[in-house]
Amino acid sequence: MSLTNAPEVDQPEEPTNRPAPSYRIREWLSRPYARHFLVLFIIFTVVIMPAAWLVLHFMNQSGAPASAIMTDIETTIFVFTFVSAPLMAVALAILMYSLLGRDWGGRVHGEEPPMQESPAIRTNSLGVILWITATSLLAGFLVIWGLVELASITAGSYGSVPTNQQPSAVKPIDINVTGAQWVWNFQYPDQQGLQSDTLVVPNNTPLYFNVTSVDVIHSFWVVELGIKIDANPGAVTNIGVTPNKLGTFNIRCAELCGMHHAYMQTKIQVVSQADFDNWVRVMGGAKTS
Amino acid sequence: MSVMTRDIHEQAAVPQPTQHGKPGGFLRHTNIFTGVITGLVLAIITYAIGSKLVPWGTQNATFQQVGYQALIAATYVAWVIGFMAGIGAFAGPIRWVLGHDLTHADAEYMAGKGQGKFRYWKYTTDHKVVGIQYLIMTLVLFGLGGFLAMLIRTELGITWAEVFTPNFYNSMIGTHGIVMIIAMIIVISGPLGNFIMPLMIGARDMAFPRLNALSFWLLFAAVPPLVSNLLLGGIRDGWTVYEPLGSQSPVGMIGYQICIIVFAFSTGIASVNLITTAFTMRARGMSWNRVPIFVVGILSAAIMGLVWFPMFQYSQILALSDRMLATSFFNPLMGGSVWLYENLFWLLGHPEVYVVIIPGTAALIELMTVFLRKPLFSYKMAIAGFVGVTGISSIVWVHHMYMTGWAPSAGYPFMLSTELISIPFGFLVLVMLGTMWRGKPWTRLPMMAVYAVIWNKIIGGITGVYLSDVPVDQYMHGSMFVVAHFHFMLMGAGLFAAIGAIAYWFPKMTGRMLNERIASIGFWVAFFAFQLTFMSMFVAGLQGMPRRVLQFDNAFNVSNWLSTIGAYCIGIGMVIFLFAVITSWRNGKPAPANPWGAKTLEWQTSTPVPLENFPVLPVVTSDPYGYGVPDPYDSVEKKMAEADQPVGAGAR
Amino acid sequence: MSAAVESPRSATTGEPVATVARRNRLGIWLCIISDATGTVALLISYVYLWSLNVNNQWAPPKNAFADWWPFWAIVAGIVMSTALIWWGIAGIAKGHKGRLAGAAVLASLILIATLVGQIVQLSTFPFGPSDGAYASATFWLCLATAFHLSLLGLLVLAISLRTAKGLITTDNHSHARLVAMYMTWVCISAALGALVATTMLASPNTQMPLFGTFTG
């Protein structure tokens, strides 16, 4: 029994009268739909996560990853799928419960508008704040991960700094790539201007591509190594990568460039240093070192 | 919402200017046929005279006859001018210049009074007529784009042979793309923005009725030049028609460029009309916190379109100039830059996808409240979502250009802005989920579309997250993964939302109930086929298949076969849906004024809607979301809280 | 039911003219915004190509850039006719109908002269549109101004005719104001074009790679 005089009009409750916070959570959890929703949420989160493996399975069917950049890309996809799974699961759980659940009243079908039975909830501050927080955290995580990753692969692939200004233990191989309708031409300036239409490169050696076009926009895509840069007429663009797997991989044009765009493909062969030197000699250029 | 009456103006009592001729004047004699004939005649004359005058011999950078380009361009322009003259579009401006102002009788004639069905074939200003005209045009464009899609998937499905020549195939994908984009831009703002929005805000018509008619007929005039490209060698350059590849296309490309230039005017005028209507013609009492959310969505899309469309328009004007005047905006040999084209294009290109998806999202949010009989969850967050998306959409365009090498360090800020826009977009998803929460769904077709669309948004959204990351884009850009992503967003979340919205407002617009059994069969066939088609396409992209190719490595065969089978089934589903629309329109059950029991203003007037919309203009006293009953859990909470309180504590 | 007819009403919808005028003013603002994007597109084209100097083809042959004074003379012409129209509007607001009529006639003559001047400038450039990026961009800045001038000529002609007919009055001169608003925007658009075309001539980029090569 209290001796305080109660106020006549609505006022904030005094602290001693406010129910404990855990009471509200317990009360919410006591509602059947809340427990069902949480269960669905957990199930969907768990079910979505393996999609990450599925995505990578398809990407690796032709031999990827063949470089650190490609591995980086795959890790990113993996992580992004995992962190996005909870929010996707929330949406899916609500969709499913709305259609199939019972505690919200179940579905109505019929010609006439149904009776008004849904609760007139206009807002729920906690729900809104939780959502904004979760989506902002997710977006923030994705952005920071992306920015850091972009910086690292740019550093690892030499970004837009010319080759002769790179600090590097191993000297990168400069390759000039020219896209023309509808062939790729590769020229190795350090190997006495050796020209080729397939790309042969030594394993574990940094490569630095200077790419241009002599007619329309093409796009130089070394598929399993995970690099791509447009070949623009009137400009030179650059990208670098270090292959780390032996084998033959695909180079495809990734920007519509006319009639035979579909056929503008060639191969990249990642070989051992010795094989590369042999190839250079056979093609008429000098040894690299 | 509660509606009080207000007297209408006594229009006849206002002093009238001189009546020049019969009411309607020149427009009594014009219609779509006079327009088409005048357009064709003027085009033929221009071609005939022009081919005698054309200076043969001047060549541009790709060695094409510059004179011939100018001749074809002039012919297209003559078609547009002739058509607009023939349908009576110039009558209004000429009358204004000469001071022959419209009388009330003129205005009523132009609104279609007394013309019965013929008013749909004329330059009619009544927003309801324009809305129906846009609806028909949209269906035609989807039919054309869909037909091309079937041909494209046939080529990709027949992996052992080339069905079409590479040039024709490239033209087909380009035409399919731009036709669908145009159709998606107008699908909600055209039919529903025009027909429903003025009703929803309690107005008699839009702010500028004559501009309304103008925007529709400009669109009509723009379509034949575009479609004719397939007969004139095609646009062999995808819907983005990048330069300088575009300049290698034959004269059919000029049809595309003229279409976009004219369409940009049409869209700009329509945007001016929509925005002014929403700002200045709301009923008394409809303050900004009582406006139906659909209006806010239409407004957002109109603002984005108004501000950015001229960028796209100029990209085509300058490309046409490169072709005809041998200028070198995009020709690197003579000082031009391909990156200039790409920037101008994507400065519109990105807001454009929001122009496509925002109206559909707004329509679904609006109709959800009716079918769940629940208020909109967090109206403020919905507004914040639309405002945020509209604003941030202007600063994300470079994510379409990550791989161009244009500005490698631009990847950082634009990755940031692209992630940032997912937050306001997330507000819209919050509003949808929150409205659905604890609501009892009335599972009619418009509501079922909401479920389908949210599923598609989830898939489109996660794949968008992958693509927004620059390193991942290094793999995915230019592959079929991107194609699948944007189909999930523009078609999965855009078109299916439009189907739901059209199903919802069908009774008000056509006066008949849609045959929901058949329409639903079509809808769900299309929905599940859509999943098959585009999930397989994701797989093809992940495996490394580039886009815009008609032949490809055997590794991609299975994905393409599955996509093609799915695509045919989408076609079947869409045809079934169209069948439902057409048969219901012709002899469906007559619809009552408010079959859904909705509270927005358009349902408070009779069906069919009278010419003046409302006998008396309504006055609004609350927002249109007064559905639902008090939350039973609230009273439980209350009791438990009160049990803990001392005797005599203030009531909550 | 209001019986007050002191405020003039629109003949077609019966609404007060002031309501319609406010609506139309918003419409013109929106048109100006759209027009502004177009101007920005041309300015971006000019400045971007100037900064790149692709294949060293920014400058016209023999560095024959256009003279600065025709650009500014044209801007002056547009500014003069705009000022005249505003002056005329101020007059009619006070009741001097004749001022607006006269101003509109004079303004349209100035606009015609300016349009002729613009066409002359276009045809007497020391380069043609195919002579590189500067030539292309300058050409189009001037073409856009010519298009604006034609539109303005028609609008101002309409104002003078309507004033003469008594359709633009002291009580209801909103149409004249709307045209004047748009003319003011055209002044700005032309001035921005003149600014870039007369101050940003030689490109700062002298180290560009030449087409098809890997140097630079």
The enclosing domain of C129 has a CATH number of 1.20.120.80
The predicted model gives C9-18 an average pLDDT of 86
Q: Are B132 and B109 in the same domain? A: no
Question: Is residue B250 predicted with pLDDT exceeding 70?
Answer: yes
Query: Which pLDDT does position A289 carry in this prediction?
Result: 44
Model confidence pLDDT, tens digit, residues A36-78: 999 999 999 999 999 999 999 999 999 889 998 999 999 999 9
pLDDT at A18 over 90: no
Please give the model's pTM, rounded to 2 decimal places: 0.93
Domain finish residue from B124, B155, B183: B124
Chains that touch C (3 or more CB pairs under 8 A): A, B
Which residues of C are less than 8 Å from A210 in CB distance?
Answer: 214
Same domain, B314 and B172: yes
Q: Is B12 inside any structural domain? A: no
Chain segment A150-180, per-residue pLDDT in tens: 888 876 555 444 445 555 566 788 999 999 9
CATH code for the domain in which residue B262 is found: 1.20.210.10
B330 contact A CB<8A:
no
B170 in a domain, yes or no? yes
Last residue of a domain, one of B124, B147, B162: B124
Residue with tokens 């303005």: C152
In chain C, what residues touch A235 (CB-CB under 8 Å)? Answer: 54, 209
**pLDDT for position C49:** 95
One domain, residues B501 and B531: yes
In-domain check, residue C132 = yes
ipTM for this model: 0.94
Tokens of B350: 């990105």
Of B76, B101, B124, the one marking the end of a domain is B124
**DSSP H or E run through A238:** strand A237-241
pLDDT beyond 90 at C213: no
Are the C-beta atoms of B458 and B487 separated by less than 8 Å? no
Residue B6: per-residue pLDDT: 38
Same structural domain for residues B59 and B187? no
Q: Are C104 and C42 in contact (CB under 8 A)?
A: no
Q: What is the pLDDT of residue B59?
A: 65
**Residue C178 covered by a domain:** yes
Greater confidence (A27 vs B624) lies with: B624
pLDDT given at position B36: 97
Torsion region of A236: left, alpha or beta (phi above 0 gives left; psi -120 to 50 gives alpha): beta
Asked if residue B195 has pLDDT above 80, the reply is: yes
Q: Is B184 part of a structural domain of the chain?
A: yes
Amino acid identity, position A266? T
Residues of A with CB under 8 A from a CB of C: 176, 178, 189, 210, 212, 214, 233-236
Same domain, B218 and B168: yes
Q: Closest to A176 (Cβ–Cβ): which among C54, C211, C214?
A: C214
What is the number of CB-based contacts under 8 A between chain A and chain B? 325
In angstroms, the CA B286 to CA B291 distance is: 6
Task: State residue C4's pLDDT score.
Answer: 42
In sequence order, which residues have a C-beta less than 8 Å from that of residue B635 and are 6 or more positions away? Answer: none
Preferred mutation among B379, B403, B420 to probe A, highest tally of A CBs within 10 A? B403
Burial profile B113-132: b = 16 or more Cβ within 10 angstroms, e = fewer: bebeeebbbbbbbbbbbbbb
Average confidence score pLDDT of chain C: 91
Q: Give the pLDDT band of residue C12 (cuts 50, 70, 90).
A: confident
Q: pLDDT tens-digit profile of C82-100?
A: 999 999 999 988 888 788 9
Q: Do B441 and A107 touch (CB under 8 A)?
A: yes
Establish if A100 touches chain B: CB-CB under 8 angstroms: no
- Give the pLDDT band (50/70/90) at residue B646: low
Would an 8 Å CB–CB cutoff place B275 in contact with chain C? Answer: yes
Mutate to test the interface with B, among A177, A212, A216, A249 (most CBs of B within 10 A): A216
The answer to whether the Cβ–Cβ distance between C167 and B334 falls below 8 Å is no
Share of chain C above pLDDT 70, in %: 96
- How confident is the model at residue A162, as a pLDDT? 47
Is residue C189 domain-resident?
yes
Residue C2 lies in a domain: no
Nearest to B46 by CA among B7, B18, B23, B74: B74
- Residue B68 covered by a domain: yes
Q: Are residues B191 and B115 in the same domain?
A: no
The pLDDT value given to residue B1: 33
The answer to whether position B14 is within a domain reads: no
pLDDT at B37 over 90: yes
Lowest mean pLDDT among A106-120, B144-158, B491-505: A106-120
Region B430-456: mean pLDDT is 95
In tens, the pLDDT along B263-307 reads 999 999 999 999 999 999 999 999 999 999 999 999 999 999 999
pLDDT score at B650: 44
Contact C44 B98 (CB under 8 A): no
How confident is the model at residue B645, as a pLDDT? 58
What average pLDDT does the segment A139-143 reach?
A: 95
Q: How far apart are the first and last CA of chain C?
A: 79
Same domain, B96 and B209: no
Q: Is the pLDDT of residue B651 over 50?
A: no
Q: What is the pLDDT of residues B85-142, one digit of tens each?
A: 999 999 999 999 999 999 988 999 999 998 999 999 999 999 999 999 999 999 999 9
Of all helices (H) and strands (E), which one includes residue A241? strand A237-241
What share of chain B has pLDDT > 90, as a percent? Answer: 82
- Cα gap B536→B513, rounded to integer Å: 36
pLDDT recorded at residue A160 = 45
Give the range of the structural domain holding residue C154, as residue numbers without chain letter.
16-199
User: By C-alpha distance, which of A172, A144, A178, A176 is closest to A158?
Assistant: A172
Label residue B17 by pLDDT band (50, 70, 90).
confident
Residue A188 with chain C: CB contacts under 8 Å: none
H helix or E strand, kind and range, residue A200: strand A199-202
Residues C150, C153, C154, C155: is their CA dihedral positive or negative?
Answer: positive
Residue type, position C67, single letter:
D
Tally of domains in chain B: 2
Residue C138 located in a structural domain: yes
Is there a domain that residue C99 lies in? yes
Residues B251 and B284 in one domain: yes
- Among B364, B414, B437, most A C-beta atoms within 10 A, so best to mutate, is B437
- Residue pointed to by tokens 């003949």: C11
pLDDT at residue B319 above 60?
yes
CA distance C27 to chain B (A): 6
Distance from CA of B76 to the nearest CA of A (A): 25
Q: For chain A, what's the residue count?
A: 289
Question: By residue range, what is the domain housing residue B163?
Answer: 125-640
pLDDT given at position A285: 62
Q: Give a yes or no: residue B242 inside a domain.
A: yes
Q: Residue A249: beta bridge partners?
A: A268
Q: Are the Cβ atoms of A214 and C209 closer than 8 angstroms?
A: no
Greater model confidence, B151 or C170? B151
Cα separation, C83 vs C77, in Å, equals 10
Measured between CB atoms, does A129 come within 8 Å of chain B?
no
Q: What was the pLDDT predicted at B111?
A: 93
* Domain assignment present for C133: yes
3-state SS record for B202-250: CCCCCCCHHHHHHHHHHHHHHHHHHHHHHHCCCCCCCCCCCCCHHHHCC
Same-domain status, B145 and B88: no
Separation of CA A158 from chain center: 21
B46 with B106, same domain: the answer is yes
Is residue C59 classed as helix, strand or coil in its secondary structure? coil
The pLDDT of residue C11 is 84
Q: Are residues B616 and B517 in the same domain?
A: yes
Residue with token string 């089934």? B569
- For the beta sheet containing A237-241, the strands, ordered from the edge strand earlier in sequence to the opposite edge, are A194-196, A183-188, A173-180, A207-213, A237-241
Assess whether B110 and B129 both reside in one domain: no
Asked if C132 and B68 touch (Cβ cutoff 8 Å), the reply is no
Q: What is the pLDDT, as a whole number, of residue A172?
A: 83
- Tell me how many domains chain C contains: 1
Identify whether C215 is part of a domain. Answer: no
Res. B601: pLDDT tops 50: yes
CB B354 within 8 A of CB B386: no
Beta-carbon separation of A235 and C209 below 8 A: yes
Distance CA C88, CA C85 (A): 5
Chain B positions in Cβ-Cβ contact with residue A145 (cut-off 8 Å): 469
